[in-house]
Amino acid sequence: MLRQVARPCPFCELRSLLGQQTRLYTQVQRERGERHGAASSRPRSGPSRPSRMVLSENVGRTPADARHTRRKPDAFAYLNRTEAPRGLERVREQRETRGSRPATGRDDGKRRTRSEPFHALKMQSSLHQVPYNNRTAVKRQIEQYDSFAKFPLAEPILRAVNDALPDLEYRNPTPAQAVAIPALLGLLKTVRTKVKTKKSGPEAFLLAAETGSGKTLAYLLPTLDAIKREEIDEKEEAEEQAIKDAEAATAKPHDQRADMFSAEEPDINKAVDPARPRAIILVPSAELVAQVGAVAKSLSHTVKFRAAPISAKMSATVIRNQLFNVNGVDVVISTPPLLASIAESNPNILARVTHLICDEADSLFDRSFKQSTTEILDRATPSLKKLILCSATIPKYLDKYLADKFPDMHRLVTPNLHAIPRRVQLGVVDVNKDPYRGNKMLACADTIWQIGKASGDYDPTEGKEAVPTKRVLVFVNERENTEEVAQYLTKKGIDALAFHRDTDPSRQAKILASFTNDAHAKESAESEDNKAAPIKTELANKRTLPNTKVIVTTDLGSRGIDTVSVRHVILYDVPHTTIDFIHRLGRTGRMGRRGRGIVLLGPGDRADVVREVREAMFRGEALI
Ligand SMILES: Nc1ncnc2c1ncn2[C@@H]1O[C@H](COP(=O)(O)OP(=O)(O)OP(=O)(O)O)[C@@H](O)[C@H]1O
């Protein structure tokens, strides 16, 4: 042995050289790991061998890059790099020292540092991250308006709030209302995105606030206030004019012929102007027309104005009677295509509009409604004073469009924009596992049975036991699946109904009524119970879930519908975008109530997207 050592063979030399290299490599790796804070967390055991899993940092480097001969890297040059190129780091440093805009709408003007970035969501990132670095100011403003009486609204409007919010002991403004009402009344300076231009036109506002935050009243109350003030001003002007005319008539020599002509003129009552409303509210669906119409009607008893909700589901006679009422009309609530077609044959209908409101603005400016919405906007512009766009989600395309078209727009943003309501929890059911083995319908039925069988929870905010009848919304991505899923659930003894665009209008109204309003729920529950009698006898021998009502729907049911009594939302399909996540989960947990979302994660579904949404919800962060 000793002799062998004394006389080294070439293979041993090679082995020891390799061993040295290996040790050196391991040391370098360990040092690097320690530098990145990873090495200390994982104690090493066994012999230190270079890991085959360590990725090279230089895969993207071309030989040309190495020689510094090429100026521009090719399109794939940065693939597999683990560190930013030196040039990019310089840019980042420069930006940081300059203090660039905050990354999201949820920090105090500081750059947001996420512990875990949205990797999966970045792939489908569609929401505009509305910046606002005056968060503290917004919060202070919200605190300042802790009662409706603090808004300088006309007295009948303040009284009417009680009619719009019955059954509430304390009626305090929500953050959306505290931010929007003073600004729409012209009280506050709001954040403007760009330098003021000299372009004339209506004053434009964007109200961006989370789902179920009372945006309807936030735009309705100041609009009605303005309408009423205009009405009073016009009346006073008319009276002044009448006095002047009378004085002029007495001053002039009596002309009998002139009297004759004036007697022939019709006696026009200027306060009453059929089919010439002062305010238009555009919404994307007939269901929302009915919902916003009901809120407007509840206010109209005290404020005294005429609201005309019109939708394509109404007959032509009903629409005509609503619009061309002899008593006049002040506020028209419609979908854009219907109103645009009416305005084409009666352009005068938009001649006196001073307030145009686009509720669910992201829908109204997307491909399906953009043409009719902009047509109405163009026709109304000459008389328009205020344009108000409202939405719980501001997609990038809308932000870009608004920045181009209305650079002076006032942006009214609440602190929780793009976040799922705080009291909503999100659970996941793995459909791939036993007992479902990929059967989503079975998983859905089982989840609803579990919800139905669970005892009502005590809710301290409402101070009473939870409602005995549980209402569950099931969202699917495709309209065709609504009927199929609803039928399967019915077979499993669940009271489920499909709700989509082709559902019979009267049935649709009944289905929704039981989900949107507790008072209606009692009435419609009775009628539905009577109607469902034959089904019950058919299912008499089956196990049924008596205290649970289910609606299976698509996006149609997710936009703006005020499903206050819904505690559970089941996402049968993983939504395509975070926008859909926000609107679908936003049907529960409204106005600070508790809610639960359950995602059915089946084969091929994006588990990473769901995980990131859950994490963001846990941290109370805005989605991207
Ligand atoms: N100040 C308030 N206090 C208590 N409840 C309120 C208040 N303002 C509105 N609400 C109630 O909150 C519910 C949600 O209101 P609304 O439908 O206007 O929300 P939204 O912000 O438009 O929601 P979405 O974005 O989903 O359309 C309604 O039932 C409404 O009556």
Q: Are residues 458 and 589 in the same domain?
A: yes
Q: Are residues 404 and 432 in the same domain?
A: no
| Domain encompassing residue 527 | 424-619
Strand pairing category for 203-208 and 410-413: parallel
Distance (angstroms) between ligand 1 centre and the Cα of 158 equals 17
The listed range with the strongest mean pLDDT (26-40, 173-187, 526-540) is 173-187
pLDDT for position 99: 45
DSSP-H helix ranges across 52-154: 63-66, 86-98, 119-123, 135-144
The distance from CA 438 to its chain's CA centroid, rounded to whole angstroms, is 31
Q: Is 299 exposed, middle or buried (0-12, 13-18, 19+ CB in 10 A)?
A: buried
The last residue of one of the domains, among 416, 444, 473, is 416
pLDDT bin (cut points 50, 70, 90) of residue 498 is very high
The last residue of one of the domains, among 416, 437, 470, is 416
Distance (angstroms) between ligand 1 centre and the Cα of 398 equals 23
pLDDT for position 134: 62
Give percent above pLDDT 70 in the chain. Answer: 66
pLDDT for position 275: 75
pLDDT for position 67: 45
pLDDT bin (cut points 50, 70, 90) of residue 59 is very low
Of the two residues 37 and 188, the one the predictor is more confident about is: 188
**100 within domain boundaries:** no
pLDDT for position 69: 43
Examine the pLDDT at 266 and tell me if it is beyond 80: no
pLDDT for position 509: 77
What CA–CA distance (Å, rounded) separates 37 from 565? 49
Q: Contact at 8 Å (CB) between 383 and 354? A: yes
Q: Residue with structure tokens 């008539």?
A: 249
Read off the pLDDT of residues 532-576 as tens digits, 9 standing for 90 and up: 444 444 445 567 888 899 999 998 888 888 988 899 999 999 998
Distance (angstroms) between ligand 1 centre and the Cα of 174 equals 8
Angle at 581 between CA 575 and CA 583, to 5 degrees: 120
Q: Are residues 461 and 493 in the same domain?
A: yes
Q: Are residues 349 and 431 in the same domain?
A: no
The last residue of one of the domains, among 416, 442, 476, is 416
**353 within domain boundaries:** yes
Q: Are residues 398 and 475 in the same domain?
A: no
**95 within domain boundaries:** no
DSSP 7-75: S--HHHHHHHHHHHHHHHHHHHHHHHHHHTT-GGGS---SS----TTPPPS-TT--HHHHTT--SSPPT
* For ligand 1, atom 23: residue with the closest CA: 212
Three-state secondary structure of 444-467: HHHHHHHHHHCCCCEECCCCEECC
Q: Identity (one letter) of the amino acid at 568?
A: H
| H helix or E strand, kind and range, residue 386 | strand 386-391
Q: Contact at 8 Å (CB) between 282 and 223? A: no
Examine the pLDDT at 422 and tell me if it is beyond 70: yes
pLDDT for position 135: 65
The distance from CA 160 to its chain's CA centroid, rounded to whole angstroms, is 27
Closest C-alpha among 610, 573, 585 to residue 444: 573
pLDDT for position 90: 58
**132 within domain boundaries:** yes
Q: ipTM greater than 0.85, yes or no?
A: yes
Q: Which two tokens stand for residue 98?
A: 């300059």
Least confident of 311-315, 331-335, 385-389, 568-572: 311-315
| Atom in ligand 1 nearest the alpha carbon of residue 209 | 21
Of the two residues 562 and 4, the one the predictor is more confident about is: 562
Number of domains in the chain: 2
Examine the pLDDT at 369 and tell me if it is beyond 80: yes
pLDDT bin (cut points 50, 70, 90) of residue 10 is low
Site to probe by mutation for ligand 1, drawn from 216, 221, 281 as the one with most ligand atoms within 8 Å of Cβ, is: 216
214 lines ligand 1 (CB under 6 A): yes
Distance (angstroms) between ligand 1 centre and the Cα of 452 equals 26
pLDDT for position 524: 47
Instruction: Spell 388-412 as b/e; 16+ CB within 10 A means b.
Output: bbbbbbbbeebbebbeeebeebbbb
Q: Contact at 8 Å (CB) between 429 and 599? A: yes
Cα diameter, the chain: 145
**Three-class DSSP category at 411:** strand
pLDDT for position 234: 86
pLDDT for position 523: 46
594 lines ligand 1 (CB under 6 A): no
Span 585-612, mean pLDDT?
91
Q: Are residues 451 and 519 in the same domain?
A: yes
**338 within domain boundaries:** yes
Of the two residues 40 and 307, the one the predictor is more confident about is: 307
**144 within domain boundaries:** yes
What CA–CA distance (Å, rounded) separates 255 from 252? 8
| Atom in ligand 1 nearest the alpha carbon of residue 391 | 25
DSSP-H helix ranges across 492-572: 505-516, 518-531, 533-538
Examine the pLDDT at 3 and tell me if it is beyond 50: no
Q: Are residues 313 and 385 in the same domain?
A: yes
Span 40-57, mean pLDDT?
38
Distance (angstroms) between ligand 1 centre and the Cα of 283 equals 15
Distance (angstroms) between ligand 1 centre and the Cα of 331 equals 20
| Atom in ligand 1 nearest the alpha carbon of residue 171 | 3
**398 within domain boundaries:** yes
Q: Are residues 436 and 535 in the same domain?
A: yes
Helices vs strands, H then E, count in the chain:
23, 16
Q: Give the domain CATH number at 532.
A: 3.40.50.300
284 lines ligand 1 (CB under 6 A): no
Examine the pLDDT at 246 and tell me if it is beyond 80: yes
Q: Contact at 8 Å (CB) between 553 and 475? A: yes
| Atom in ligand 1 nearest the alpha carbon of residue 586 | 26
**Three-class DSSP category at 267:** coil
Examine the pLDDT at 354 and tell me if it is beyond 80: yes
Q: Contact at 8 Å (CB) between 556 and 287? A: yes
Examine the pLDDT at 203 and tell me if it is beyond 90: yes
Q: Are residues 478 and 568 in the same domain?
A: yes
217 lines ligand 1 (CB under 6 A): yes
pLDDT for position 517: 64
Question: Which DSSP state fits 482?
Answer: H
pLDDT for position 168: 74
pLDDT for position 616: 87
Distance (angstroms) between ligand 1 centre and the Cα of 611 equals 29
* For ligand 1, atom 1: residue with the closest CA: 173
Of how many residues is the chain composed? 624
pLDDT bin (cut points 50, 70, 90) of residue 290 is very high
Least confident of 5-19, 387-401, 503-517: 5-19
Q: Identity (one letter) of the amino acid at 572?
A: Y
165 lines ligand 1 (CB under 6 A): yes
For the chain, give the mean pLDDT. 77
Q: Are residues 388 and 430 in the same domain?
A: no
**538 within domain boundaries:** yes
pLDDT bin (cut points 50, 70, 90) of residue 577 is confident
Distance (angstroms) between ligand 1 centre and the Cα of 171 equals 12
Distance (angstroms) between ligand 1 centre and the Cα of 216 equals 7
Distance (angstroms) between ligand 1 centre and the Cα of 567 equals 16
Q: Are residues 473 and 356 in the same domain?
A: no
392 lines ligand 1 (CB under 6 A): yes
421 lines ligand 1 (CB under 6 A): no
Span 272-295, mean pLDDT?
88
pLDDT for position 187: 85
The listed range with the strongest mean pLDDT (65-79, 114-128, 240-254) is 240-254
Q: Are residues 174 and 233 in the same domain?
A: yes
Least confident of 40-54, 221-235, 367-381, 449-463: 40-54
Least confident of 40-44, 246-250, 397-401: 40-44
